[in-house]
Amino acid sequence: MADASVDWNLQPGHPIIRMKLHDRFGGTREGGISPSRTTPNVLIFSEPAIGREHGYFDHWAGGIFHYYGQGRVGNQQMTRNNAAIRDHLDKGRTLRVFEGAKGTVSYVGEFELDSRQPWYCADRKRWD
């Protein structure tokens, strides 16, 4: 599965072209959640201005990054990419967050899911 021999060499604030990022570390070139099949990483992309147009409300609050996940209609399901985030520690994977979604993205850093409150329910109207 994942090749741990591929060393992570990006530092927070480092810009990189998303296509080159995926060439080096794997994952899909589209979407906000990109689990790699070739390295032990789950790449997460957030661009709040564009995300809001599509029903995603990623934001920082109290020093915590709130990531909306995958799924725009109804309750999100803990399957596929959402499950990759939820299960990252159990699977020995690192969450890597980037600002931006296309073209050049900027590495924010390594994150972990909050073990006390890994997810919560929120009505979309709360963010409108």
In a domain, 126, yes or no: no
* Of 53 and 108, the one with more pLDDT: 108
In a domain, 32, yes or no: yes
In a domain, 26, yes or no: yes
Residue with tokens 């794997």: 26
pLDDT, tens digit, for every residue of 27-69?
Answer: 988 888 899 999 999 999 998 777 666 666 777 888 887 777 6
In a domain, 1, yes or no: no
First to last CA, the chain: 41
Q: How far is the CA of 53 from the CAs of 9, 11, 89, 110, in angstroms?
A: 33, 29, 31, 26
Closest CA to 37 of 28, 45, 29, 26: 26
pTM: 0.79
Determine the structural domain holding residue 39 and report its residue range. 13-68
In a domain, 46, yes or no: yes
The CA distance from 68 to 126, in Å, is: 13
Across the chain, mean pLDDT equals: 80
Give the total number of structural domains in the chain.
Answer: 1
The secondary structure element, H or E, covering residue 78 is none
3-17, 34-48, 71-85, 91-105 — which is least confidently predicted?
A: 71-85
In a domain, 112, yes or no: no
Sign of the alpha-carbon torsion through 41, 4, 109, 24: negative
Residue 60 in tokens:
């920082």
In a domain, 119, yes or no: no
